[in-house]
Structure 1
């Protein structure tokens, strides 16, 4: 050992954790599986949105009908289908209810493309070009027109009834994706932490380590090493998601996800550190790999229940969960993506999570010290709490 590792033994343990995991086929395989899941979750919404029949466009007069027909002939493929509405309020209702993709209505100098929260860029550009073509053809039939007069009535403006950053389907998929990344990463690394502790106990390696390094340093090293690995895995997964978004022409999603990504990293680190301490304790309570089914059950429940809350619960339940430690790591980033959340809410959630993480990791350290060298039988959490420090 050099001076650095002697002064900071937890750093030596962290390096050992990182190098061991990088040579572990199970770890590499789980990372590849997560990459595949993220790529599918990124690409699937674009494929679903792209399927179906012709996009429906609401119109209120014959002039707009001609424009939509012109756009349909130049679009190719499935084209556009016109839906006749009696007036603008009727067209707005069709847009709001999702019965049509957009509406093409008369404007002050041409037409207005009306959308709900977003208008597909292909629809907007197609209608814009078609309006210019139809208008030009009509104006060109007249004699003695100036260039300005020739293009009169071809201006297309974009208006949104309910401005929003992403379509509901895409927002829902990204929200689930963020929660799923935390859930799978925390669960996967958690089980690996617990298994490594049991393996060290079974092979008596832990007794050698404990004779050279303070037991708390063993815990800090495991937490630090696995946190670094988890963040690295997240960066790789984020890179895969970025490629998927760019390939499917969903660059607009990045503009919305990028500001939330920084918050997600903070929630992820705090939640992961707290859980890492609990997973290490779950391993120290066991004496065999077979014991992990019962000792890791509380950690699995702490992850599973908040995950389903963040994905399937209603608005009020999700809001409450976004302030509950651990659950907030999955719920708050999703809320920030799909709702207008004031900045004090994630700051308060982070403060609560930070305090909880400190308390959990301190309790975990005490239990880890008391149970790591206990062999012969599996210990329960109540029994571990009742044990006196050696």
Structure 2
């Protein structure tokens, strides 16, 4: 009497598609996921709009200036100048509080002028009027420091939120299926590696969709607020960010799923995915603290876990050569393939082992 060998009902590609569809639909049917995504989009739009309107707001200081003192303030930015006839008219404007201060010619003053204020000296204006030596910069900044920080913060935060959210989703899903033994039913139809591939694919689609949505919102916000120059500078950097994020997330998702397969309870999940979570958080803090450090940013550009943040920021700042993103992407793709192979090995040899946590060395050895 012979025993028939069970056969799987679907091909690997069909299985990957079915598992990916299951992952996507389960998230889209989750009210918490939909609401959190909409809130995230709303916050992103509000941040871009606020930044644009704040940049448009002028904080010019109203100053009264006599005609014979106009030369002293001619090249000072940030002043709303009102020309008056003489010192008496300047003093009246200050007294009426129609201006914050006045600048009048004064031959007796060492500087040739006098600043008139009502109750206290306007420190900002005085500092602007102070004589300063000519400064020659050998390596001047090509990007506004404030804009550099905002863009670095944006790329870092976007990567952190998307990678941690969907990476955590994959890990929780793996443990839930293992704890409820649903995985035993699933692998009766598809192989463990097909199941892993479907999970990674489904969550990658969701993560990329969220990234594209955030980028679209940023573009719309920049256009509405008239920040077309910033949009022009960000264009290529955002495209590269999406490409790098795709492979970077696949790498991390494979590791999240593999780490989750080592445990059988949700309570034990935190201890296994903490190292991977640290890898996700590291680029965010590094780019915030060292966005003005060329050496750190260059190293980040070639480290697979940090490249999705480091390289787009350097491209935006104009600090990367044309060949650098290509080389960095090749390194990331190679690391991604390695992570998939290692992750699939761990997942395949741990997903059906219940009870105590499976040691990493045991999972690798089989």
Go from structure 1 to structure 2 and tell me whether the alpha carbon gap of 1:82 and 1:367 turns closer, same or farther (over 3 Å shift). farther
Name the TM-score, length of structure 1 as normaliser: 0.70
TM superposition shift of 1:330: 1.2
User: Does 2:362 match 1:356?
Assistant: no
TM superposition shift of 1:246: 2.7
Go from structure 1 to structure 2 and tell me whether the alpha carbon gap of 1:4 and 1:368 turns closer, same or farther (over 3 Å shift). closer
User: Does 2:218 match 1:212?
Assistant: no
CA distance in structure 2 between the aligned counterparts of 1:339 and 1:237, rounded to whole angstroms? 23
User: Does 2:252 match 1:275?
Assistant: yes
Go from structure 1 to structure 2 and tell me whether the alpha carbon gap of 1:197 and 1:69 turns closer, same or farther (over 3 Å shift). closer
TM superposition shift of 1:369: 0.3
Q: What residue is the counterpart of 1:120 in the other structure? A: none
CA distance in structure 1 between the aligned counterparts of 2:79 and 2:24, rounded to whole angstroms? 60
Q: What residue is the counterpart of 1:192 in the other structure? A: 169
Q: What residue is the counterpart of 2:34 in the other structure? A: 28
Q: What residue is the counterpart of 1:326 in the other structure? A: 305
Go from structure 1 to structure 2 and tell me whether the alpha carbon gap of 1:26 and 1:299 turns closer, same or farther (over 3 Å shift). farther
Q: What residue is the counterpart of 1:289 in the other structure? A: 266
Q: What residue is the counterpart of 2:202 in the other structure? A: 225
Alpha carbons 1:176, 1:334 under 8 Å: kept: no
Alignment gaps of 5+ in structure 1:
87-98, 101-115, 117-160
Alpha carbons 1:43, 1:248 under 8 Å: kept: yes
CA distance in structure 2 between the aligned counterparts of 1:319 and 1:326, rounded to whole angstroms? 13
CA distance in structure 2 between the aligned counterparts of 1:80 and 1:332, rounded to whole angstroms? 46
CA distance in structure 2 between the aligned counterparts of 1:174 and 1:287, rounded to whole angstroms? 40
CA distance in structure 2 between the aligned counterparts of 1:277 and 1:252, rounded to whole angstroms? 38
Alpha carbons 1:287, 1:378 under 8 Å: kept: yes
Q: What residue is the counterpart of 1:146 in the other structure? A: none
User: Does 2:314 match 1:335?
Assistant: yes
Q: What residue is the counterpart of 2:362 in the other structure? A: 383
Q: What residue is the counterpart of 1:310 in the other structure? A: 287
Q: What residue is the counterpart of 2:347 in the other structure? A: 368
User: Does 2:257 match 1:251?
Assistant: no
Go from structure 1 to structure 2 and tell me whether the alpha carbon gap of 1:63 and 1:199 turns closer, same or farther (over 3 Å shift). same
Report SS of the residue matched to 2:302. coil
Higher RCO (C-alpha 8 Å, min separation 6):
2
CA distance in structure 2 between the aligned counterparts of 1:240 and 1:327, rounded to whole angstroms? 24
Matches within 5 A, 1:85-100: none
Q: What residue is the counterpart of 2:45 in the other structure? A: 39
CA RMSD of aligned residues (A): 3.5
Alpha carbons 1:245, 1:251 under 8 Å: kept: yes
Q: What residue is the counterpart of 2:132 in the other structure? A: none
TM superposition shift of 1:6: 6.8
Report SS of the residue matched to 1:296. helix
Go from structure 1 to structure 2 and tell me whether the alpha carbon gap of 1:236 and 1:312 turns closer, same or farther (over 3 Å shift). same
Q: What residue is the counterpart of 1:131 in the other structure? A: none
CA distance in structure 1 between the aligned counterparts of 2:242 and 2:174, rounded to whole angstroms? 26
CA distance in structure 2 between the aligned counterparts of 1:79 and 1:16, rounded to whole angstroms? 66
Alignment gaps of 5+ in structure 2:
1-8, 83-97, 105-110, 112-126, 129-135
TM superposition shift of 1:196: 0.8
Go from structure 1 to structure 2 and tell me whether the alpha carbon gap of 1:4 and 1:39 turns closer, same or farther (over 3 Å shift). same
TM superposition shift of 1:192: 0.4
Report SS of the residue matched to 1:273. helix
Matches within 5 A, 1:30-109: 30-46=36-52, 48-49=54-55, 53-54=59-60, 62=70
User: Does 2:207 match 1:201?
Assistant: no
Number of residue pairs matched?
A: 308
Which deviations, in whole Å up to 9, do the C-alpha atoms of 1:170-193 show, x marking residues without a partner? 232122101211111000000000
